[in-house]
Every structure is written in C-alpha cells, then in structure tokens.
Amino acid sequence: MMSRSLILWFGIIVIATPVYGEDAEVAKQKTHAEESLKKAHPGQRAATETAHLYLLGAAPEARLKSLAAILEKQYTAAVKALEFEPSNPPWPGKLTVFVLADQAELKSFIRQIEKRSPLPEETGSAVWRSETPHLAIAIPAAKEPALEVSAGQQLTTALLYSRARSQDVPDWLLNGFAKATANQGSPAAPRKRHIAKLNVPATAAWNPDVPAEPRGLIAASVAEYLIYGKAVKVPALLGAFRRGEGQDSEKPTMDAFKDLELSPEKLEYGWRQWLAKP
C-alpha cells in the first residue's frame, strides 16, 4: 500500500490560479508561477492547463499534457464522488501543479517558495487551505511509482482533506480512495470479481497484519464501495474520523464506523453485495 508521504502545508503563498475563464487574471497568475518556478528550476520548462488545473515544470510539454488529462479526469470523478457543491469548490480558482525535475528541486521549491524546511520523507507538497492552492511534485526516480501515480495520489489526498476540512483521514482511506479514483476509467466488473475471489474480509483494508498487496487492493475496493458506491454519506464518513477535542491520536477506523452504526458484519455484507453487482 502506498504510504502517506504528501505534506500539506497551510501557509499562504503568492502563486495563485483564478477561476476558469478569467483570462487576464489567469495570465497574471501564470507569470507569477513561472517567476517562482525559476527559483527552483532555472532550466527549460513547459506548461499546459485544463478547466481546473494549471501544470508547469520540468517535464516535456507532451508529458505535461498527458498528465494534465489524467489529473483532470481524476479531479472531476473525485469532486463528484465527494459531493462538493458547485458553490463551494475544494479551493478557490485553479490548482497549480508544479512538476519538478527531482527531489533536490522539490526541496529547493519548498524552501524558497513555501518558506519552510522540507522533511526528509517528502515526495510532494500541497497548499490547499489557501487562496493560492498548489501541488509541487518531483519526477520520480526509476524505481519509484510513476509520475501519474504520484500526482494522482497527491491530488486525491488534497481533495479528501479539503472535503473533510481536516487531516483526520486514515492512511488506508487516503490510499484506497486514490486507487479507486484512478480505477474509475476502467470497467468495474473484472476488478470486483478479482477482489471477491481473494476471499479477504473488508476489515483487511486497515489491518496491518494483512500483507501489503492484498491490503491495498481491499482498501481501494472498500473506499470505492463507501464513496463511489454511495454506501454512506461522504460528510458523515469523513466527519466520523474527526478527532474530538483534546484527542491527540488518530481515531481508530472501527470507532469511526461505530459512530456511523456500521458494524464489521454490516460493512462486510454491504460490500459483498456491492461486489456481486454488475
């Protein structure tokens, strides 16, 4: 299962992107973004945009356009599934996505633009609770997950946090929702049949004793059932994980589900019924 390595930073910076259609304002923000990018990536750069995203950075234009198309589809699917109201989008205007050449450039970006010290485990950074939202990602090394996987994970994580209005979302749900969102463009039936044949319970999604590979598959399936399958209301689901006042540790999943009156047996039955549907 993918680990939570995206760092979400709440500072307000000057790189903003406006509402789609505001051409003069978009042009102004592009200029600001390019000037800021020069500090971390002085070499050649490319840029592209979609209805909700503005991408720029070290990748070739063709790669950026391909990434933009993937992220736009994931953004659209996730925003619909998370039940964002049109009057209350995840963040103001467009989300700027900076694609940096490597980890060194990412850390330089964090220091110079976000004005903070990067953490050793960071593979990406996001500012979403701001009027100037952005993602900053590094092109992964050969043995790491592909850029599209890394960027999609970071985008869906930011969207989940924005919808929850907090970072009180467990890793299994973050990672599972990212994979479920990436799966939305492919037929569901073969995926459901494969999961059903594993004969692994839904609770394996957050059980650390279950091997990582089946645990990740189950997490994606359970997240898909809960959110894309509309098994529970999204605000209630995310709200159930929110910590109470004075609570320091993450709320256990079964405690959250208990608040939703979703017992392990009820979850298992509903999930299995959903898997059996065409």
Query: What are the residue ranges spanned by the domains of the chain?
Result: 6-164, 171-276
- Please write the tens of the pLDDT for every residue from 256-269: 999 999 999 999 99
Rounded-to-integer distance, Cα 70 and Cα 48, Å: 13
- The pLDDT value recorded for residue 66 is 96
- Please write the tens of the pLDDT for every residue from 186-205: 999 999 999 999 999 999 99
Rounded-to-integer distance, Cα 230 and Cα 114, Å: 37
Q: Residues 26, 130, 167, 235: what is their CA dihedral angle, to the nearest 10 degrees?
A: -70
- The pLDDT value recorded for residue 260 is 96
- Please write the tens of the pLDDT for every residue from 61-100: 999 999 999 999 999 999 999 999 989 999 888 899 999 9
* Residue 51 burial (CB count, 10 A): 10
5: nearest Cα among 154, 168, 215, 170:
154
* Residue 22 burial (CB count, 10 A): 14
Confidence of residue 8 (pLDDT cuts 50, 70, 90): low
Q: What separation in angstroms does the CA of 200 have from each of 30, 181, 253, 263, 272?
A: 48, 21, 17, 17, 11
What value, to the nearest 5°, has the Cα angle with vertex 46 and ends 41 and 49?
Answer: 120
User: Is the predicted pLDDT of residue 218 greater than 90, yes or no?
Assistant: yes
Tell me the whole-structure pTM to 2 decimals: 0.87
At residue 56, the 3 state secondary structure works out as strand
The mean pLDDT value of the chain amounts to: 88
The half-sphere exposure of 150 on its side-chain side, counting CA atoms within 13 A, is: 25
At residue 8, the 3 state secondary structure works out as strand
Give me the amino acid identity at 252: P
For residues 242-268, average pLDDT: 92
User: Is the predicted pLDDT of residue 174 greater than 60, yes or no?
Assistant: yes
What value, to the nearest 5°, has the Cα angle with vertex 121 and ends 41 and 251?
Answer: 130
Q: Which CATH topology does 6-164 take?
A: Glutaredoxin (3.40.30)
264: nearest Cα among 176, 214, 205:
205
